[in-house]
Amino acid sequence: MGEELRRTKTELVLCIFLGWLGVHRFYAKKYGTAIIYLLTVGLFCIGWIRDIIVLAKRYFSLKKQSDTAEVVVSEEAIAQAISKEMLAGMGMREPTEEELAAARERERLAEEGKVERKRRMADQGVDVSLFTDDMVRKDALTILNSFSPSWGVLRVSVDDAEYSGDFQNLTKTGKVPKNVFNGRYGIDGAPSVPNGVHDMVSVSLRYLQDGSVNMADVHLWHNALNLTYTVRIIDGEYRVTSITTTDLATGINDTRYLDNAPTERQTAMMIINNILMG
């Protein structure tokens, strides 16, 4: 309990002060989403705020279960010391009120952009009611279960999934693009090897105007290996068009399939299954 409380407190402190850079996710070895946070200012601050709430709830739940107040104080002091040391080591400081206000403004503008893109699609006759976050969740799971049913070996839980979608911009000529909506589905899990990278799932979906999936890119992290496969429509059916792997320890890439889609779904499933189970 004490160790989990310490780690949660440290993660919470890092999230509050440096969450917009994804530092708390680097600390938790959730490297995939950590990099995304770093590049998108904490998923446009929305992910940052959500993480603060989730970690705070977890911390106070653990604190309530702690045997003594002395343990809580001790762990808090350790967490604060670690946080200060990491801040100093990176030559960083706590954000000012002005910086926090700027972050909130970026979040507001990002949300405003989503609303405006949706409105413009609706003005062009797109039935925007077809596209929902829950649709993204269902379609991502369909892709995963259809082409990589053995993804269940990953140490992840669908209860921890994060998913959302956003409409595309119109073309330069003001027309509706072929892919009108992008969906994202992701899960951060636990490491499958000691002190290794967390098992993770990331699915990117692109939708046509009728609400059907046009293409999908799937990334699975397991056993210090990143497996990536792409799904496209060929001859009227969904097929895996490429399968690649990256060894996270050596950085070596291997291409298992490229521009030569297996004619049978079972063939692609066998290749992906062998990689995940190997």
Specify the pLDDT at position 208. 97
- Which own/partner pairs from 102-111 qualify as long-range (CB within 8 Å, at least 24 positions apart)? 103/20, 103/41, 103/42, 103/45, 103/48, 104/45, 106/41, 106/44, 106/45, 107/44, 107/45, 107/46, 107/49, 110/44, 110/45, 110/46, 111/44, 111/46
- For residue 190, give the 3-state DSSP assignment: strand
- Give the total residue count for the chain: 278
Q: Which residue positions in the chain have pLDDT lower than 70?
A: 1-3, 62-95, 190-197, 259-266
Specify the pLDDT at position 103. 80
**pTM of the complete model beyond 0.85:** no
Q: Tell me the per-residue pLDDT of 108-162, one tens digit each, with 9 for 90 and over.
A: 888 899 999 999 999 999 999 999 999 999 999 999 999 999 999 998 889 889 8
- For residue 138, give the 3-state DSSP assignment: helix
Specify the pLDDT at position 214. 96
Specify the pLDDT at position 80. 53
CA gap 70, 170 in Å, rounded: 58
H helix runs in 45-198, sequence order: 46-65, 69-89, 97-123, 133-147
Burial-class residue 69 by CB neighbours within 10 Å (0-12, 13-18, 19+). exposed
Measured from the Cβ of residue 263, the count of other Cβ atoms closer than 10 Å reads: 11
Specify the pLDDT at position 78. 47
Specify the pLDDT at position 70. 44
Specify the pLDDT at position 75. 46
Q: Tell me the per-residue pLDDT of 253-268, one tens digit each, with 9 for 90 and over.
A: 898 877 655 566 667 7
Locus of tokens 């079972």: 266
Specify the pLDDT at position 23. 84
In the chain, the amino acid numbered 153 is V
- For residue 43, give the 3-state DSSP assignment: helix
